[in-house]
Amino acid sequence: MRFVPQVLKMSRIEPSIRQSNIASPALPVPSVFGGIIAPPAIPAYMPHGLKTVVVDQRLAFLKKYGSSFLAYSSLQDGLDYYTKEDCGYIPYSLIGKGNIVPVSLGDPICPADRSQELIENFQEKYDYPVFFHISKDVAHVLSKMGFSVNEIGTEIILDLQRFTLAGNKMRFLRKQINKGKRDGLVVKEQLYSEVGEDVLRAISGQWLHKKVVRNNELSFIVRPIVYADEMDVRIFIAYKDNRPVGFNIFDPIYRDGQIIGYVPNHLRAASESNYSVQDWIVFEAMRVFREEGKEVLSLGFCPLYKVNDSGEFKYSRLLKTIFQFAYEHANFVYKFKALAFHKSRYRPGLDGCQESKVYCAYKNPARFELLPEIVSLMGINVIEQTVGRLMGR
């Protein structure tokens, strides 16, 4: 018998349109896997750390034009911003000697037909900007402006209204669901304040202990966890025997003032099991999002996966070789292959699941001495990880 996913029946008030922090009643929803999805009343909290009036304009731009999958990450603490009041903004961090080289995060958050204008204004402030994790559309704009463009990996995207677990190629994912069901796993959507910071930190600590990059949280392209309720961010918790064993945090994707989908920014599990707790939470969350009419779920970035620049853009062959070598031989620094293999289980190319290339762009000559700083910006210490490998840690 083929497994065809059902759709959860539930109602929910969009947090982005709430006018107060007063909780609204919401009923628990039975899961098709035997668990319970309990939608919380999520208040319209401001993003953590955003306390000034100027933020109102930035949030307006984000909700209008923040359709790229890293757009919400532009709200993370520690970033700088170039803002053009009638257009949008570019989030970035400064690196290089004297902190004079900006590394932008994701696509410019502005109308698509004004991205070149915003980038040109940005260049008036900084001579040598680097654009990281950009879409093909923005890569075309930058290429026309004289930038070199290299592939840096792929993103895997699900169409929530078309993706299905039916068919032989989805057998592995269906097994994850069945194992979770037999194990008595229950998923609930809750607020941070309902769960408690200590609980989430304990799960994170156990999860990080098992990771290659475990001394620090990843940053920049992964928005660091904020242990507080945040605007439009949703968290789903997995419970086994009434004990929390994992959680997934979903950041919103906007278009024209509406939330059209989510990206799981953090997926963490504390316990060892013979199935993926994180995937089980994703499947449950997908059913909620689908019933709400959401369009997309990005599974996130697969760094260096399928890097194969073919000449569509002017690119650095040396940078391409470095990226390909790192993907094949530097998995002690970051688990490039394991992450890509896992996400490929969702079968890009089948109906409802696709891959999208992700790029970086820079002015020639390419400054390869900046690569270690860019990697460090993401929370990865190549030297420390290499020494650890040589010492058998």
pLDDT of residue 31: 43
Q: In this model, does residue 68 exceed pLDDT 60? A: yes
Domain 1-393: CATH architecture, name and number where available: 3-Layer(aba) Sandwich (3.40)
Rounded to whole angstroms, how far apart are CA atoms 353 and 344?
10
Pairing mode, strands 80-84 and 243-255: unpaired
CB 42 within 8 A of CB 234: yes
83, 360 contact by CB (below 8 A): no
Residue 6 has pLDDT above 90, yes or no: no
**Which pLDDT belongs to residue 387?**
64
Task: State the average pLDDT over residues 361-387.
Answer: 84
- Report the candidate in 376, 359, 372 with the shortest Cα–Cα distance to residue 132: 359
Single-letter amino acid, residue 248: N
Cα–Cα distance, 75 to 336 (Å, whole number): 26
Which tokens in the block code for residue 317?
């062959």
pLDDT at 13: 31
Cβ contact 252:298 at 8 Å: no
Amino acid letter, residue 206:
Q
Tokens linked to 238: 């997995």
The DSSP result for 320-374, as a single string, is: HHHHHHHHHH-TTTS-HHHHHHHHHTT-BTBTTEEEEEEEEEEPSSP-GGGHHHH
Encode pLDDT of 231-265 as tens digits. Answer: 999 999 999 999 999 999 999 999 999 999 999 99
Distance CA 37, CA 15 (A): 17
Q: pLDDT digits over 220-236, tens only?
A: 999 999 989 999 999 99
DSSP string, 113-138: GGHHHHHHHHHHH-SS-EEEEE-HHH
Lowest mean pLDDT among 42-46, 105-109, 374-378: 42-46
Provide the residue type at 181 as one letter.
K
* pLDDT score of 247: 95
Q: What is the DSSP string of 91-106?
A: EEEEETTTT-EEEEES
d(CA 300, CA 69): 8
CA proximity to 112, closest of 174, 61, 43: 61
Res 133 pLDDT > 70: yes
Residue 323: band (very low, low, confident or very high) from pLDDT cuts 50, 70, 90: very high
**pLDDT at residue number 290:** 97
Residue 193 parent element (H or E)? helix 192-195
Q: What is the pLDDT of residues 198-217, one digit of tens each?
A: 999 999 888 877 665 545 56
Q: Which residues contact 128 (CB under 8 A, 6 or more apart)?
A: 100, 101, 362, 363, 367
How far apart (Å, rounded) are the C-alpha atoms in residues 236 and 371? Answer: 35
> Is pLDDT above 80 for 364?
yes
- Closest residue by Cα to residue 301 from 386, 378, 201: 378
Question: Residues 157-165: what's their mean pLDDT?
Answer: 96
Torsion angles phi and psi, residue 93, rounded to 5:
-125, 150
Q: Which two tokens stand for residue 168?
A: 């032989």
Residue 84: how many other CB atoms lie within 10 Å: 16
C-beta separation of 174 from 14 below 8 A: no
Residue 347 clears pLDDT 80, i.e. is over it: yes
* Cis peptide preceding 365, ω within 30 of 0: yes
From the CB of residue 383, how many other CB atoms can be counted at a distance below 10 Å? 10
pLDDT class of 392 with cuts at 50, 70, 90: low
Q: What is the pLDDT of residues 13-32, one digit of tens each?
A: 333 322 222 233 333 444 43
Q: How does the average pLDDT of the chain come out, rounded?
A: 84
Residue 49: is its pLDDT beyond 60? no
Identify the residue with better confidence: 111 or 35: 111
Q: Which of 128-142, 266-280, 354-368 has the lowest mean pLDDT?
A: 266-280
What is the rounded average pLDDT of the residues 329-339?
A: 92
C-alpha to C-alpha distance for 314 and 304, rounded to whole angstroms = 18
**Side chain identity at 54, as an amino acid letter?**
V
Q: Alpha helix locations (H) across 216-309? A: 277-291
> Structure pTM?
0.84
